[in-house]
Structures are given as C-alpha cells and as structure tokens.
Structure 1
Amino acid sequence: MNTPSQEDATVTHHQIAAGGVRLHYVAAGPAQGSLVVLLHGFPEFWRAWERQIGPLADAGFRVIAPDLRGYNLSEKPLGVEAYRLQTLQQDVSNLIRALGYERAHVVGHDWGGIIAWALAIRQPEIVQKLVILNAPHPGASRRAFRKPAQWKRSWYIFFFQLPWLPERVLLRFAEKVLRGVNPDAYTENNRNLYRQAWNQPGAATAMINYYRALKPFQKREEVRDESLQVRVPTLVLWGNLDAALLPEMADGLERWVPDLRVVRFAQASHWIMRDDPLRVNKFIIDFFSS
C-alpha cells in the first residue's frame, strides 16, 4: 500500500516560547491556511504524525506538530508538578496564541488526545473542531476504570509510579508498545529516530512524569457531567484492537459531547494513524473542510 509520509510536505523546524516553556515544533502548509495542531502521545514525538502532515498541508491547512513538553527537543521542566494536565493544556493554548492565532483545529492521540479533550472542555473558544484518536474522554475514563479489565490493561500506569526503575527500562518498554497491527508502521529508520528522542537528556523522566502526575492511588472526587461537556464539533476515530484501552471507552460519549461522530476501525490498533493512514487522513480532512 502506498501510504503518505512526512516527505510529502516541506517541513520547517522551529522553537517558540509558549508561556513558561520552550517548545520545538514542525510546520507545513500555507501560512494563510486554517491552523491544525497535531498533539502526539506517549512515547512518541512530532513524528507520530509523519503520515498526516503532508496530506493535511496539501489540503490547504497550516499544520503545526509540536513536541510536547518533556519530549524530544522541547524543554523538560523538572518535577512531577510540571506535568499536571492543566499545565499541559495551557501549553497548547499558549502555543496557538504565540503563533498569532485565536483558534485552531486540534487533533490529539493518546496523551495528546487527553490534553485535547481538556482544552476543548476548559477553553472551547480556542478549539474550532476537535479530532480524537484513541484517547478517552475523562468521563468515559472514569466509567471504564470501574472495570477490572481496564485496570489489567493499564498496569503500566502503576509501574510508572515507582522511582528510577521505570526510567531504567523505558527504552525497551517504549519499543514494545510501538508495535502496531501494521508491520510496516515503524521502519528501522523510524526506530532510530525514536531512540534518539528517548535518549535526550531528561526525556525519560519527563515522559514518565506525565503518568506520575495522574496520582492514580488518590481517591477521585465525583465530577458533575456539566463540567465535562465538550461544546465543539468532535470526531472520534477509534482503533478497536487497542491493547491498552477497552473498545467501550468510545461508547456513550454523547452524554458529554453533543456534536459528535464516532468512527471505529476494526483492524486498527492504538496506533491508528499509522495502521490506516489513508482512511484516517480522509476522515480528518473531510471533517475540517466541512
């Protein structure tokens, strides 16, 4: 299958001060195009989107794919507190404004999707349209974690609470989790680039601190549905073969997201944008163009 790649677009690399953190990002597409911000997850960096950036740029969008704080070439603040969800969300809104925009289409996968959900909930004025790839809405996540099956899939969250040991095994763990359904999803060149990103000074601890900041052993307060509402048009693309998240996490989202479309990919894993890039790209472009 001929799949789109990063080389399909002219990409430029940039550094920008977004609030209190310096972020690295790549940019592609016409400067006058509507802004699309692509947010990667764990354990990736901007190259998570190398099969999406070119097609989105060719469709006329201004595409920005940052390394989230702590990842690859972005700044890596010290301490767990620097990786609270509210701080990560504010990084994205600061980035959009620092680029000179008031609003953006936002696409998020995994941790990038968790951040994108938070941004749409807390700062909907910044999000024009939202696309989520295999990342749970906070309400759906609370519901799913009442089931032992989800706890079993999420064992690594608890492992990451340990001191120093997760950092020691991160490289092997990260390579293992990137094995998707598509055997061609990650070439050896991809793997080398990822290894370079993971071996950046401070990167291992920063990446794991995303999970340490969750405080999974603390009692969760009951949150009213009204505080979890997403009032922007939303498209959820979900790979049903996700090894970490139960498929039902994409069920019943209308409770919190009135303007919603959910598309399931029966043969895609958690790494849906690599497993089936042509369909993922078409859904995203059609959604943002409508």
Structure 2
Amino acid sequence: MADPTVPGQTPPSSESLGSEPPRSAEITFSRGRLRFRAIDSGPADGEVVVLLHGFPQRTSSWDAVAPLLHAAGFRTLVLDQRGYCSTARPRGRRAYRLSELVGDVLALLDSANLPAAHVVGHDWGAAVAWGVAAAHPDRVRSLTAVSVPHLAAFRRAMIVSDQLLRSWYIGFFQLPWVPERVLTSDGGPAERALATMGMTPEMIARYRSEMVADGAVPGGLGWYRALPFASPGKATARVRVPTTFVWSDHDPALGRGGAERTAHYVDADYRFVEMSGASHWIPEERPAELAEEIIARAQS
C-alpha cells in the first residue's frame, strides 16, 4: 500500500481503511446568537483540514474526501455553514456578507483552539476559503480552493469572458420568493438543472433531504442575495499563503476565464490543477484525485 504521508503518492481508497470506524463527533460552537455545528473526524492528533461546502449542499458533500484525508493522518472539521445549519439561519441579506462567512470560520478555529489550519472549500465554500486566506493569512496554513476562482479573478472574468452568461442565475436568485418556489419543487426545474450539471440521482436525493426538507434553501440563497452589499476589502485582497486551485473543464457555471486569471492574485507557491472531463461536483466525482491534491498542498 502507498504511504499516504509521502507527497506524490495516491492516498488509499476508503475500502482500505480497515474495519475500525474512524473517530467522529459532532461539535457545536456559538457566534453571537447563532449556534453552529461541525463534524470533527479523523486522528485527534492530526493536522487539521477545515472543509467548507458550497451551494446547494451541506457537510455530506465531503463524505468521499474526508476518509482519504484521515488515512493520510489528517483530522477534518467539516462546517455546516451559516444559513444551512438549522440553528444558524439569520434573517436579512446583510447577515450573509462574505465578512460574516469568514468570521464563522474563524469562530470554528477559535472554538477548537486552533491558531491555524489547512482550509479547503468547494463552490461558495471556496469563496469563503479565499476570503479567510486573504484577510487572515496567519490563520491559514495552506489553501485548496475548488471550482470557484479568486474573487477578483471572478469579477474580471465577468467582464472579459463568458462568465457573465454562465452566472445568469445569480440575478434570478435576487428575486423574492420565486427562487424558493423553483428550488423546492419536487422533480421541478431546479432538480433537472442539477442533473444537467452532473448531479447523480443519489446527490439529488440528498439535496431534497438536506436542503429542501430541512428548510435550508432560503439560507443558501441568502449568500447570493448579500452580493449587492459586498464591498472591496481584505477578504478580496491578494493571497499570500501556499495555494492550490482545482478547476474542472466541464463545469457549466465557472469558465476558464476566472480559472486562468487566478494565478495573478496569489503571491505564494501556487498550483493550478485542471480536472479534464469532470463536472462542477468535484468532491463527489473525483474524491481520490482531489484528496491527493489537498494532501500534497498540506504537506508542501
């Protein structure tokens, strides 16, 4: 078996982890009136990797990746983020500004008595991870961003590439009530769109359970609805921590324009990984390859 602690070697599959169930516990912490939950798993003495999910998903989106990190000796903290966690769903669009989302990650680190951690995010989770690394580089040992490029690169791509057309749904999500009805319709256009984007029937079933049935759709939309209140700041500054950006060429939502411009906004060791043929849902579709990149970055 390959040694997962050696850079460049492929991490073992989840089938090879042995019969003993891994250590896993749900932890809770507060930030103001909000109470968050996170899944703390893997070796208790391992270096910590914070995993941040995107929209429209929750902590289960990392279920195939986390065991591979545990096998390599890492401990994972998977955060159920603001608007998704049932006890952390504030009202009002301003409550979902990027500065607040970044603050939630810092509160998680503080609750676990961690001065810093490796930070990994997919989709909106990547946007938050970029924000944490830019505004608080002292709290980030390494960054692995998946699918969503640096926010300044994304904004530039909206002007000079086809990214604006790809992001049409952001404007739709600004409408009141209508997006909620579309996204919660059983078997409706939202589920068909997710399938077109590459979600499997099993993933769509989780969407129905974790997002629709649990009432997390309005909170997830809050992240988009806070965008008009965004202002340039430290969270969109240049990143000065070791960074890997993973992007897939069959992602209909995020084009090559932002992906290729991201390198201009990282003033540290940087690696761009293009996963050929993969859809937007990289953590579920290519977990072993993604875990290998996370491990390589954390060990670099």
Summarize deviations over 1:158-211 as a string: whole Å, max 9, x none.
Answer: 1011111111111345534543776xx6453x4433322213565221111110
Q: TM-score, normalised on structure 2?
A: 0.85
Counterpart position of 1:250: 259
Contact 1:67 1:73 in 2 (8 A): no
Structure 1 segment 1-290 matched on structure 2, within 5 A: 4=14, 9-147=22-160, 149-171=162-184, 172=188, 174-179=190-195, 186-188=200-202, 190-199=203-212, 202-215=215-228, 228-258=237-267, 259-290=269-300
Q: Structure 1 stretches of 5 or more lacking a match?
A: none
Give the drift of 1:268. Answer: 0.9
Amino acid paired to 1:262: F
Question: Against the structure 1 CA distance between its residues 150 and 130, is the aligned structure 2 distance closer, same or farther, given a 3 Å change threshold?
Answer: same
Give the drift of 1:267. Answer: 0.9
Contact 2:39 2:77 in 1 (8 A): yes
Question: Against the structure 1 CA distance between its residues 19 and 33, is the aligned structure 2 distance closer, same or farther, given a 3 Å change threshold?
Answer: farther
Summarize deviations over 1:44-64 as a string: whole Å, max 9, x none.
Answer: 000110111111112111101
Contact 2:127 2:149 in 1 (8 A): yes
Q: C-alpha separation between the residues in 2 aligned to 1:225 and 1:154? A: 24
Greater displacement, 275-284 / 77-86: 275-284
Counterpart position of 2:9: none
Q: Give the superposed CA RMSD.
A: 2.7
Question: Against the structure 1 CA distance between its residues 87 and 200, is the aligned structure 2 distance closer, same or farther, given a 3 Å change threshold?
Answer: farther
Q: Sequence identity of aligned pairs in percent?
A: 38
Contact 1:180 1:275 in 2 (8 A): no
Q: C-alpha separation between the residues in 1 aligned to 2:242 and 2:22? A: 27
Amino acid paired to 1:286: A
Question: Against the structure 1 CA distance between its residues 228 and 28, is the aligned structure 2 distance closer, same or farther, given a 3 Å change threshold?
Answer: same
Q: C-alpha separation between the residues in 2 aligned to 1:50 and 1:271? A: 13
Give secondary structure in 2 for the equivalent of 1:108.
Answer: strand
Q: TM-score, normalised on structure 1?
A: 0.88
Amino acid paired to 2:93: V
Give secondary structure in 2 for the equivalent of 1:128.
Answer: strand
Question: Against the structure 1 CA distance between its residues 34 and 199, is the aligned structure 2 distance closer, same or farther, given a 3 Å change threshold?
Answer: same
The number of residues matched between the two structures is 282
Contact 1:4 1:278 in 2 (8 A): no
Question: Against the structure 1 CA distance between its residues 43 and 174, is the aligned structure 2 distance closer, same or farther, given a 3 Å change threshold?
Answer: farther
Contact 1:36 1:104 in 2 (8 A): yes
Question: Against the structure 1 CA distance between its residues 257 and 155, is the aligned structure 2 distance closer, same or farther, given a 3 Å change threshold?
Answer: same
Q: Structure 2 stretches of 5 or more lacking a match?
A: 1-11
Question: Against the structure 1 CA distance between its residues 12 and 265, is the aligned structure 2 distance closer, same or farther, given a 3 Å change threshold?
Answer: same
